[in-house]
Amino acid sequence: MLEIKNLTIIYPNGKKAVSDLNITIADGDLYGFIGKNGAGKTTTLKACLTIHDYNTGDILLNGVSIKSAPTECKKRMAYVPDTPILDPNLTGLQYLNFICDIYNVSEEKRKQKIPALSKQLGMNEKLNDLISSYSHGMKQKISLIGAFIHEPKLLILDEPFVGLDPEAFIQLKALMKALCASGGSVLFSSHILDVVEKTCNKIAIIRNGELIRSGETQEILENRDLENVFMELNGK
Ligand SMILES: Nc1ncnc2c1ncn2[C@@H]1O[C@H](COP(=O)(O)OP(=O)(O)OP(=O)(O)O)[C@@H](O)[C@H]1O
């Protein structure tokens, strides 16, 4: 379980990007995080990974502050940013083995998971190519494989569907659901409201750094579609 409690983040230039934010992601939750450009999604997600510091409030993973045990917490999480930064001089396979080394994934598990995930996301024939030769979507896919490969308890994804082809799009949704069904959880930001509405059991909506709605998808929708709810909550 991840608890974001009264989180406030102010950038050094004085910009308050996140203000007194509270979100709880329980085991099994597939949690969609939505808001307009600049609402504070990426800043919040990066804080969960200790990439960004926070001014007040706290973020707890299974009751432990990520600030007090950052390495332990990060071992249980995976993160794919909206634009993955990868070493262009590695092949896809070398990158995946590097990730497996960091997370202590056994040889046996690698042999099973690398081909399976690569096939699922359509990268099996590209693994021996250099990352420098990959398109944006391929970089996205290899990063996603690297995130799923060590079976994180919590997967955090920033705009994961951008740039994926339709098949990978469908497979990613299946992988996310499977992770949640096995007791893990996923928190992801997206501007694709249709996917959030149909995939997530919970949704949080942020505006100008403040949480304006969160909870069970069905309760938020109340028989409307998410586009209407989103527009209404944003005063449109
Ligand atoms: N390094 C920074 N220094 C100062 N302000 C920043 C910095 N990074 C982001 N911001 C500001 O913080 C606010 C939140 O930005 P953030 O990137 O978290 O938004 P977002 O919801 O992820 O947006 P998008 O949907 O466009 O990706 C914005 O007003 C943005 O301009």
Domain of residue 72, CATH code = 3.40.50.300
Angle at CA of residue 147, ends 27 and 126, nearest 5°: 150
Residues 47 and 66 in one domain: yes
Angle at CA of residue 188, ends 213 and 136, nearest 5°: 140
Q: How far is the CA of 141 from the centre of ligand 1 (A)?
A: 24
The answer, yes or no, to whether ipTM is higher than 0.85 is: yes
Residues 88 and 58 in one domain: no
Query: Residue 11: CB within 6 Å of ligand 1?
Result: yes
Q: Is 92:126 a contact under the CB 8 Å cutoff?
A: yes
pLDDT digits (tens, 9 = 90+) for 199-222: 999 999 999 999 999 999 999 999
Q: How far is the CA of 43 from the centre of ligand 1 (A)?
A: 6
Q: How far is the CA of 18 from the centre of ligand 1 (A)?
A: 9
Mean pLDDT over the full length of the chain: 95
- Distance of CA 189 to CAs 10, 45, 132, 210, 232, Å? 20, 8, 26, 15, 19
Query: Residue 39: CB within 6 Å of ligand 1?
Result: yes
Domain end marker among 120, 151, 182: 151
Residues 47 and 163 in one domain: yes
Residues 201 and 216 in one domain: yes
Q: How far is the CA of 11 from the centre of ligand 1 (A)?
A: 9
* pLDDT score at 234: 83
Q: How far is the CA of 4 from the centre of ligand 1 (A)?
A: 18
Residues 104 and 122 in one domain: yes
Residues 24 and 190: their CA atoms lie apart, in Å, by 18
Residues 142 and 169: their CA atoms lie apart, in Å, by 14
Which structural domain range is residue 222 located in? 1-76+153-236
pLDDT digits (tens, 9 = 90+) for 82-123: 999 999 999 999 999 999 999 999 999 999 999 999 999 999
Query: Residue 45: CB within 6 Å of ligand 1?
Result: no
Q: Is residue 236 scored above 90 in pLDDT?
A: no
Asked whether the CA dihedral 48, 49, 55, 57 is positive or negative, the reply is positive
Residues 100 and 56 in one domain: no
Query: Residue 17: CB within 6 Å of ligand 1?
Result: yes
Determine the 3-state secondary structure of 141 from DSSP. helix
**Number of structural domains the chain divides into:** 2
Residues 147 and 165 in one domain: no
Domain end marker among 103, 121, 151: 151
Q: Is residue 30 scored above 90 in pLDDT?
A: yes
Counting from 1 in the atom list of ligand 1, the atom nearest the Cα of 45 is 18
Domain end marker among 129, 151, 173: 151
- Burial class of residue 107 in the structure, from the number of CB atoms within 10 Å of its CB (0-12 exposed, 13-18 middle, 19+ buried): exposed
CB < 8 Å & 24+ apart, contacts of 140-143: 140/80, 140/84, 140/164, 141/168, 142/84, 142/86, 142/92, 142/95, 142/96, 143/80, 143/81, 143/84, 143/86
Length of the chain counted residue by residue: 236
Query: Residue 21: CB within 6 Å of ligand 1?
Result: no
pLDDT band at 223 (very low <50, low <70, confident <90, very high): confident
